[in-house]
Structure 1
Amino acid sequence: MKILFVCLGNICRSPVLEAVLRDHVRRAGLKWEVASVGTGAWHVGRAADPRSCASATRRGYSMDRHRARQLHVNHFYEYDWLLAADRENLRELQLLRPADASARVELALAFAGLETPQEVPDPYFGADADFEHVVDLAEEFARNVLARYAKR
């Protein structure tokens, strides 16, 4: 399984989803590929937002090596799933996806079988609690995805 998380700038939501799922996958002994990108180029090459890093670190997840990347058309051929943090990024993926691409696109939380909330809210302009909420959702995502897909 190859999963690529997608958000707007690749510094808040998608790197947290990546770090949390990667850790859960590693502990489960699976050989999945997990990565993240942003649809925008504003933060390419930068580390994750310090508030995202702090909230992830408090839960035991490291994002020290993360550097923001931008979505590229090749990703639609290299990954099985491109999972959007929200509907805006899902629409962008649907518009950019080549007709012959093998990757499927979906909202991340829907992929995990979560009905509420449907989107991972962007914490960028929020408080520390908003960043903690993203980690909560990432952990719930990881548990659900492993329960649903690890035995395939």
Structure 2
Amino acid sequence: MKILMVCLGNICRSPLAHGVLAHMVKEKELGWEIDSAGTGNWHIGQCPDKRSVAVAKKYGVDISQQRARQFNERDFARYDHILVMDRQNLRDVVALAKTAEEKTKVKLFLEDGIVPDPYYDDNLFETVYQLVASRCEVLIEELKD
């Protein structure tokens, strides 16, 4: 199983989702491959935002070694599931899909909403972590079957 998390810049939300899910997958010895990317190119090669690193560390998850990269069309072939953090990410990623099969791989990370972007609000990082962590637990159960 290969899962890609996608947000705008790949420094706040998707690195958290990537790190949390990878941590849980490792604990459960599932052997899944987890990665993340951004739809934009502003932060390519950069570490995750220090606030994402800090909130992840608070819960025993180390995301400090991740590096931002941009989503590209090759990701459709590489990943089984492409989970995006908001509706704009959904539109941007689906727009790159060339086939119906590629489009079906792309879904909102939160089935009933969006993961808020905490970049401009320090207080949202904890909220985002909690949303991501609870969704990752459910996601594992859904995808294990």
Give the TM-score, by structure 1 length: 0.91
Rounded to whole Å, the distance in 1 between the matches of 2:124 and 2:37 is: 20
In angstroms, what is the RMSD of aligned CA positions? Answer: 1.2
Identity of aligned residues (%): 41
Which residue in 1 is equivalent to 2:19? 19
Which residue in 1 is equivalent to 2:69? 69
* 1:144 matched to 2:138: yes
For residues 56-90 of structure 1, what are the alpha-carbon distances to aligned partners after superposition, in whole Å with 9 as ceiling and x for unaligned?
11011101211000011100110011111000000
Structure 1: give runs of 5+ residues left out of the alignment.
Answer: none
Asked whether the equivalents of residues 76 and 98 of structure 1 are also in contact (C-alpha less than 8 Å), the reply is no
- Deviation at 1:145? 0.9
Q: Per the alignment, in what secondary structure is the counterpart of residue 37 of structure 1?
A: strand
- Deviation at 1:39? 0.4
Rounded to whole Å, the distance in 1 between the matches of 2:45 and 2:142 is: 33
Structure 2: give runs of 5+ residues left out of the alignment.
Answer: none
- Deviation at 1:10? 0.2
Rounded to whole Å, the distance in 2 between the matches of 1:4 and 1:19 is: 11
* 1:123 matched to 2:118: yes
Q: Per the alignment, in what secondary structure is the counterpart of residue 70 of structure 1?
A: coil
State the aligned residue count: 144
- Deviation at 1:138? 1.2
- Deviation at 1:101? 5.2
Question: What amino acid is the match of 1:11?
Answer: I
Moved more, 93-102 or 22-31: 93-102
Moved more, 91-100 or 50-59: 91-100
- Deviation at 1:94? 1.0
Q: Per the alignment, in what secondary structure is the counterpart of residue 110 of structure 2?
A: helix
Rounded to whole Å, the distance in 2 between the matches of 1:29 and 1:63 is: 19
Moved more, 12-21 or 136-145: 136-145
Which residue in 1 is equivalent to 2:87? 87
- Deviation at 1:147? 1.8
